[in-house]
Amino acid sequence: MLYGRAMTNTLTIALAQLTQSVGDLVANADAMLEWRDRAKGADLIVYPELQLIGYPPEDLVLKPALVERAGIELQRLAKATADGGPAMLVGTVVAAHGVLFNVVAMLDGGEITAIRQKRELPNYGTFDEKRLFAPGPLPEPVEFRGVKLGLPICEDVWFPFVTAHLKAQGAEILITPNGSPYEIGKDDRRLHQVCAARVQETGLPIAYLNRVGGQDELVFDGASFVMGADLTTLHQMPDWEEALLITHWEKRDGTWHCAPGDIHALDPHPEDTYNAMVLGLRDYVNRNRFPGVVLGLSGGIDSALSAAVAVDALGADRVWCVMMPSRFTSQDSLDDAAECARLLGVRLDSIPIEPAVAAFDTMLAGVFEGRDRDLAEENIQSRIRGVTLMGISNKFGPMLLTTGNKSEMSVGYATIYGDMAGGYSVLKDAYKTTVFDLSRWRNDAVPSLGLGPSGPVMPERVITKPPTAELRDNQRDDDSLPPYEVLDPILHGLVEEELSVDQLTARGFERDTVARIERLLYVAEYKRRQAPPGVKLGTRNFGRDRRYPITNAFRTL
């Protein structure tokens, strides 16, 4: 049988926007075959970057057994194309000359007909590809049915010289398989700053394919699209959902044209951020086989939003909330927690911690004698709550969901082995002002991915009352920290922008305040190293994006 040689002026290309399971090669291959069946009639079906092994594979890809099994599964996929159905463009890993390559393989007529290696290996932010892979040469087009396809893999399309080389070598259509994680505002960068620039430079149409789903701290939002040579967006696939797009191409006057189709509206902000939290938590809990989650519901805004996200991700029957009052807990907090639970339809138990607090006071009385009550006693309360929740988690199986936000984690306003104890955090990359914005939005709207109620999820007072940890009498967050509308822009400058004290002072912030926040940011690094994973939302999360030394004497002032 001849394949890939007959000239054609028409092509039907299917784009499979799929989720994945990192390391489950058989399941990933089976899913690709299932979606191939749905694409009957297409000439070619394209899958996201590294779809066979999952992305990012991290050091898992260094295991020779995984690479060997990836080769076996790739051969299985190739043999499936002997049935005369769609050829497949599959992202995987191959070993050659003692190194690993991130590749796409063309499978057609029962064989592997071409392999192209990724050249530009990202090594910033969440990416560590230079640790794992060797760069390939400038890629050559792949001839398919007489058509030269340029196949820049993910990061390759961000570099104009890669697509310029493909164009110079005769590429007629650009198809770029991606594993591009969600970040706030990234849709616009992909479409207008990157792909539109490559189209304008080369004069070639482009099909951009991304995956969906959560993988540890990363969430992939899909939002794949096709752009014509005239910079028109011809297809826009949905965000957050698996989907199959069948595109029809025709060569006219020497240029390939894609017939236009549906343009799905992508989530506006902050719905996109909320859905990222929902999908990240859902996939983390389900893929790690937890029956559900348990969390402390304090009556404050952080735990209220965390509970809402959990219900939207998993359903109310898989979310267990626990109120753990102390003598410092106000009646407003008790009432607000109860109302949150009622609105969300979740189980709420009350476990007073005073007996444990009294026991610790008695245990430590001799050692603490002569010392005033201070932060140590406050932290003991938080740690008692952590132990209580972990006890429920161990006894019944739900994962403990922590509720701290990025503002608190930045300055160390969190108790290690206390409110930081747990398996995952949906607010890890959300500043406090973002928490307020998301809470207001969720009270007025329903997320497209949500399984929760259509009405409000928390009483208005939770959003309007001053934030407090309630670990001592009359405590408020702004007793220890600047107001969040001041703190968060300073933190954004220090964390996301890497600005100095002088640079932030030039923006109008009080110099001593900025210097104090910078010091708190650095000295809390040891806490963040012991924090659970959480959903990445912005450009610089605490985790894969930002890796600072714990022992660090540098200050910009």
Q: Is 167 assigned a catalytic role? A: no
CB atoms within 10 A of CB 502: 12
As a whole number of angstroms, the distance between CA 129 and CA 59 comes to 10
DSSP three-state, residue 186:
helix
CB-CB neighbours of 268 under 10 Å: 8
Residues 6 or more apart in contact with residue 21 via CB below 8 angstroms: 27, 28, 54, 287
340 catalytic per annotation: no
Which of 118, 428, 432, 527 does the annotation list as catalytic? 118
Of the candidates 49, 65, 60, which has an alpha carbon nearest to the alpha carbon of residue 105?
49
Spot the catalytic one: 49, 172, 217, 408.
49
DSSP assignment string, 92-131:
EEEEETTEEEEEEEEEETTEEEEEEE------STT--HHH
Helical H segments across 175-300, by residue range: 186-188, 196-202, 271-287
Q: Which residue has the tokens 């007073």?
A: 352
Contacts 24+ apart (CB under 8 A), 523-530: 523/412, 524/409, 524/410, 524/411, 524/412, 525/549, 525/550, 525/552, 526/550, 527/409, 527/412, 527/414, 527/416, 527/420, 528/409, 530/416, 530/420
**Residue 154 annotated as catalytic:** yes
Considering only CA atoms, give the Rg of the chain.
26
Q: Is 544 helix (H, G, I), strand (E, B) or coil?
A: coil
Catalytic residue from among 73, 129, 154, 183: 154
Catalytic residues: 49, 118, 154
